[in-house]
Structures are given as structure tokens and as C-alpha cells.
Amino acid sequence: MNADFTSDPRGEIPGATMMRDAWDEEADVVVLGCGGAGAVAAITAYDAGAKVIVVEKGEFGGNTRLATMAFLCPTNNSLAREHIKALSFGRLGDDIIDVYVEWTSKNVEYIEQLGGEVETCFPGASFSPLPGSETMLRYRVSARAEGELGGESLWNLLSKNLQQRNIPVHRHTTANRIIRSADEVVGVVTQKEEKRFNIRARKAVVLATGGFEYNEELKREFLPAYPIFAYGNAGNTGDGIRLAQELGADLWHMNAVAAPMGYKFPEFQSAFIMRMPADGYIIVDQNGNRFCNETGLEHYSMWMSVTSFNTESLRFLRIPSYLIFDEQTRLAGPITRVGHGANRVYQWSPDNSQEVRRGWIKSGNSPVELANKLGIQATEKLTQTFQDYKEACKSGTDEKFGRSKETLVEFDSKSYGVPLWPCLLNTQGGPKRNARGEIVDVWGEPIKRLYGAGEVGSIWGFLYQSGGNLGECLGLGRLVGLNAAAELPLN
């Protein structure tokens, strides 16, 4: 089969000579990335009659397999539109909001069609003061197998559906290039180990390669602070962004992320998420000062409280910050969500004692001793902060930060500390899409036969609603699968 690659702007496609003569494989729809969005797009395109091939750089499952597993399914479409509009702070057109709500509101029905069962997750809305929040309901796929971790029950359901349809998934195969002939996308260059495979897409290519949580260059360039670590799949290096940019794609939402605070230790590439088992804790900056209402921080936007740059000390004074807690809190349970994210096989000890022994968590019998061990220079300031916090607990009023009375728990004698970093659950930015899920160029024109789904250019442009990403994979993954399958085939 012949293809004309001469329209490539750089004129230097790897192996171009060979590709002019032959494609190695052919399908109607080629899906890049086998996480939630890719799997849903592939299943839907297949069910609409298309021959589908999925290309996956790693094993499979991406962030989807590691997720907590809540997905959004609003019940009242007009309230959901109002709410998402408020969350977006003007970064989303009404047409995108409409299509998101239309498709995600059928997510429960879709899971049932795939043979899954759902259960409700609590609480629903991440930002309940915004209008329409009461409809932001979240669900998860009920676990079938004992010991299913994280997002595995959702992933296992999608994986089973891929297998039932015999949709080929080329694992450990990286999409390196999207090929365009004249003004249409016609296929993909992929690589497995040293070998290249050129796959022709008769109808469309769907980009579903996830986020850029592990691409240091993109994070430095687009996120408001650095370093920012990550909890999920190390294969998410923003490849799809580069692939689409090469074809002239516009980008959107590049500085939007969901990033609760967490811990990063050299032994692990990924971070551990902060989750406190009791209220006896504070967070301080590198000067030993508290700077927020610790127990009132919204989970996904926590990172927003640490990204300000201090122009006197010329540092991000809150990166890292320090989590400080007392003995009772240490004994109350793990200070992380166990069985979560890429480090989920690590057995965190129930009383955090093993992590103290490992030297991840430092301990001190006084604020000065703790400050010295943590490397906080301002030892006196930390002592003062302990004192101020003690007084706030006694009076039941946190004048500076408004922490609620019931969470003002006084420290007992011994205290513990650990550096705290902003860490990504996901990045939201990537190639911009229109309401049909087509990737658009810098002039707003669709790049013909190129679609996008999931985290690579997600709709979430500012505040993030929990369950919104998996909701998007399930909802807009279907839209994209249908539209890709409906393209007229190339000759």
C-alpha cells in the first residue's frame, strides 16, 4: 500500500523511504494510548462497525488503572452546565460544556451496558458553594474480584470488553509520529523496541495518550511552580501533545492540574498522597510559618496554596512545605492513602513507625530539634508557630487562617515532620478539541481525521471536579469513538 508522506513539514519522517512503499498494518480507527479514554473510544468505534487497533506504550491501563475510581455522572443537565461553567472561570465554550454534560450524564447507563455494576461515592461536589453543585454525583464500578485496588474495577471492566471484542492492543509500542497526507491524517509511525511499524488509519486516529505528569520540560514550561511530582503512571510523558503540535494543533488548559499535596522519597519515582488520619497537624513553610487553613483545603486544588513565589528570598517558600503532626496523629493511622497510585504495592505501616525508621518522617522532642532534622533554618519561628497554634487550640479560634474549632487539636509532646510537595493526580492540558472531539489547529479548524479523548487536552481548564476525568474518559471517549468510526474511509 502506498502513502504520500512528502507533505510532512519537516520532511524528515524516520524511515520515510520505507514508509513510502508500505504500511505494516491497517485499520479504520487507530487509537493511541490504552487507558480509560482509549479503551472507551476503541470499544465504541468497534461497536459502530470499525476495525480498530490500539497502540499502547506500556503494559496498559495508564492512570485509569491506578485511579481512585470515582467517575462523574450528573443527574440534572442544566444544573451541571451551570456548575461546570462556574468551575471553568471562562475557559470553556458553552458547546463543550453541553457536550460534556450530555455524554457524562449517561455514564452509569454505559457502565451497565458494558456489564458492570455501580455504587455511589461520597461526597459529590468538590466545590459545593458554586451553583448547581448538588447534581455533581460520583459513582464507581463495584469491585468484582477480591483485592481489586484503586481504579482496577473500572479498568478491569474496560479491559474485559476490549478482550471480548478481540480488539488488538499493541503493547510496549510507542506512537512516535502521526502521518498526514495533504491535509488529512492517514496513519501513525509506531515503535516497538528497535522496530518501526507503520499503521494506516483509513478513517481516523484517536489521541488518548494521557497527561504530562512525568515530562519535566513541559511541567517547567507550563505549570506555575516547580518541582511538582506525580502519583500516577510514569509512561504519561505528554507524548500526545508533541504529536499533535507537530500537526499544528492549538493547546488549551496547559496550566490546569489536579494536585493534592504529597510526599516524595528518593526510593520511589512517584509520590505518596497526603491523607491525615486525625486533626493534630499543621503545615508550615520554609520559614516555619503556617500559611493556610490546613483542614479546610480542597483536595484537588491544594497546590494552588503553595505556588506563590517569594520575591524577597527568591524562592518558592512553600515548595517544599512541611507537614507537622503529633504522636497521637502518628498512632491514628497511615498519613497516606494506602493502596493508591503507582506506589500502591508499598505496605505503609499502620502507625507510620516503619516510615519513621526509614528516615522519611523525622521526629523531635521539641520544635527546635524537629526543625533541625527537617532542615528548617528558622528554628525560633517554628517554636513561635507551635506556641501560636497551641493558643489557637486553647481559645478555639484560629484568627489568621480560620481553621474550624473542632479541628484545632492541641499537639502532645513529641512531634513529627515530613516535607510536603505539590504532586499531580493529573494534568489537564493538551491539544484543544471542538465539541465533536476533533483536535483543532491554531485557527480553530479541525485537523482532519484526528480526534482526542481523556487527559490529553481535557475539558478541565481551571477548578477540577472530582470524578471529572474518568467521567470524561467514559463520556467523551464514546463521542469520539462514534465520530471516528463515522468518518468516510480513505481510498
Ligand X SMILES: Cc1cc2nc3c(=O)[nH]c(=O)nc-3n(C[C@H](O)[C@H](O)[C@H](O)COP(=O)(O)OP(=O)(O)OC[C@H]3O[C@@H](n4cnc5c(N)ncnc54)[C@H](O)[C@@H]3O)c2cc1C
CB of 61 to ligand X, least distance (A): 6
Q: Are 206 and 199 in contact (CB under 8 A)?
A: no
422 near ligand X, rule: CB under 6 A: no
Closest by alpha carbon to 187, among 197, 195, 198? Answer: 198
Binding segment (CB under 6 A) for ligand X, from list 7-15, 233-241, 279-287, 323-331: 233-241
Q: In what helix (H) or strand (E) does residue 27 lie, and over which residues does it extend?
A: strand 25-32
**Cell digits for 39?**
479503551
Please pick, from the candidates 116, 210, 262, 367, the single residue that binds ligand X as defined by CB under 6 A. Answer: 210
469 near ligand X, rule: CB under 6 A: yes
- Class of residue 448 by CB neighbours under 10 A (exposed 0-12, middle 13-18, buried 19+): middle
Which amino acid, residue 378? A
Number of residues that bind ligand X (CB under 6 A): 44
DSSP summary character for residue 121: E
15 near ligand X, rule: CB under 6 A: no
End-to-end CA distance of the chain: 11
Q: Are 43 and 165 in contact (CB under 8 A)?
A: yes
152 near ligand X, rule: CB under 6 A: no
- The C-alpha angle with vertex 107 and arms to 231 and 301, in degrees rounded to 5, equals 35
425 near ligand X, rule: CB under 6 A: yes
55 near ligand X, rule: CB under 6 A: yes
468 near ligand X, rule: CB under 6 A: yes
Helix, strand, coil % (nearest 5) of the chain? Answer: 30, 20, 50
Residues in 299-338 at the binding interface with ligand X, rule: CB under 6 A: none
Please pick, from the candidates 13, 45, 52, 68, the single residue that binds ligand X as defined by CB under 6 A. Answer: 68
CA dihedral sign of residues 356, 359, 362, 365: positive
Please pick, from the candidates 62, 132, 187, 475, the single residue that binds ligand X as defined by CB under 6 A. Answer: 62
Please pick, from the candidates 5, 29, 44, 57, the single residue that binds ligand X as defined by CB under 6 A. Answer: 57
Q: Are 228 and 220 in contact (CB under 8 A)?
A: no
415 near ligand X, rule: CB under 6 A: no
Binding segment (CB under 6 A) for ligand X, from list 101-109, 216-224, 226-234, 287-295: 226-234
Task: Give the whole-angstrom CA distance, residue 100 versus residue 84.
Answer: 9
- How many residues are given for the chain? 491
Place of cell 493534630: 280
Question: Of 62 and 288, which has the nearer Cβ to ligand X?
Answer: 62
Please pick, from the candidates 92, 111, 186, 208, the single residue that binds ligand X as defined by CB under 6 A. Answer: 208
Please pick, from the candidates 27, 31, 50, 69, the single residue that binds ligand X as defined by CB under 6 A. Answer: 69
Q: Are 137 and 74 in contact (CB under 8 A)?
A: yes
3-state SS, residue 200: strand
CB of 329 to ligand X, least distance (A): 23
Task: Give the whole-angstrom CA distance, residue 42 versus residue 206.
Answer: 9
- The DSSP string of 78-117 is HHHHHHHHHHHTT-S-HHHHHHHHHHHTTHHHHHHHTT--
Binding segment (CB under 6 A) for ligand X, from list 28-36, 102-110, 374-382, 390-398: 28-36
Binding segment (CB under 6 A) for ligand X, from list 56-64, 307-315, 353-361, 440-448: 56-64
249 near ligand X, rule: CB under 6 A: no
70 near ligand X, rule: CB under 6 A: yes
56 near ligand X, rule: CB under 6 A: yes
Please pick, from the candidates 97, 247, 261, 470, the single residue that binds ligand X as defined by CB under 6 A. Answer: 470
Question: Of 36 and 422, which has the nearer Cβ to ligand X?
Answer: 36
465 near ligand X, rule: CB under 6 A: no
452 near ligand X, rule: CB under 6 A: no
DSSP summary character for residue 294: G
**Cell digits for 92?**
470553556
Residues in 332-371 at the binding interface with ligand X, rule: CB under 6 A: 340-341
CB of 200 to ligand X, least distance (A): 17
Task: Give the whole-angstrom CA distance, residue 442 versus residue 5.
Answer: 22
Question: Of 155 and 389, which has the nearer Cβ to ligand X?
Answer: 155
Binding segment (CB under 6 A) for ligand X, from list 69-77, 159-167, 198-206, 280-288: 69-77
Q: Are 362 and 374 in contact (CB under 8 A)?
A: yes
Binding segment (CB under 6 A) for ligand X, from list 5-13, 57-65, 96-104, 363-371: 57-65
Please pick, from the candidates 5, 46, 71, 416, the single residue that binds ligand X as defined by CB under 6 A. Answer: 71
232 near ligand X, rule: CB under 6 A: yes
Q: How far is CA 445 from CA 184, 248, 398, 436, 448, in A?
A: 12, 10, 53, 12, 9
Question: Of 208 and 447, which has the nearer Cβ to ligand X?
Answer: 208
DSSP summary character for residue 152: H
Closest by alpha carbon to 489, among 36, 121, 14, 27? Answer: 27
CB of 430 to ligand X, least distance (A): 9
Which positions lie near ligand X, rule CB under 6 A?
32-38, 55-58, 61-64, 66-71, 174-175, 208-210, 231-233, 235-236, 239, 340-341, 425-426, 454-455, 467-471, 473
